[in-house]
Chains A and B, each alone.
Chain A
Amino acid sequence: MTPKIELIGISKRFGRKVVLDELNLSVMPGESLVVIGGSGTGKSVMLKCILGLLRPDEGQVLVDGQDVTRLRGRARTAYRSRFGMLFQGGALFDSLSVWRNITFAMTQGRRGNARQRDLAIELLQKVGLDAAVADLRPSELSGGMQKRVALARAIAAKPEIIFFDEPTTGLDPIRADVINDLIVSLVRDLGITALTITHDMASARKIAHRVAMLYNGKIIWDGPRDLIHSSGNPYVDQFVNGRAEGPIKTGQLVR
Chain B
Amino acid sequence: MQTLLKDLLSVLIRIGSVVLAGLGAVGRLAQFTGRAVGRAVLPPYYPARLVEQMLIIGYFSLPVVGLTALFTGAALAQQIFVGGSRFNAESTVPAVTVIAIVRELGPVLGGLMVAGRVSSAMAAELGTMRVTEQIDALTTLRTDPYQYLIAPRLLAALIVMPLLVLVSNVIGVFGGYLIGTERLGFNAANYLSITSQYLEGDDVTSSMVKAAVFGFIIALMGCYNGFHSSGGAAGVGRATTNAVVSAFILILLANLIITVLVFGS
Task: Show the binding face of A for B, using Cβ within 8 Å.
Answer: 48, 51, 53, 77, 80-81, 83-85, 87-89, 91-94, 104-105, 108-111, 153, 157
Contacts and interface: CB of A to CB of B under 8 A. Distances in A.
A85 to B, nearest CB: 5
A37 B134 CA distance: 24
Contacts of B138: 93
A91 B143 contact: no
Given A108-B44, A109-B148, A111-B48, A80 B142 contact: yes
B139 A53 contact: yes
Interface residues of B, number: 18
B142 A53 contact: no
Contact of B133 (A81, A87, A104, A109): A87
Nearest to A156: B141
Interface string B126-143: 000100111011111111
A167 to B, nearest CB: 15
The SS class assigned to the B binding surface is: helix
B49 interface: yes
Interface of B: 44, 46, 48-49, 129, 132-134, 136-144, 148
B259 to A, nearest CB: 38
B154 to A, nearest CB: 17
Contacts of A157: 141
Given A80-B142, A81-B142, A110 B48 contact: yes
A38 B136 CA distance: 23
Contacts of A93: 129, 134, 137-138
Contacts of B141: 104-105, 108, 153, 157
Nearest to B138: A93
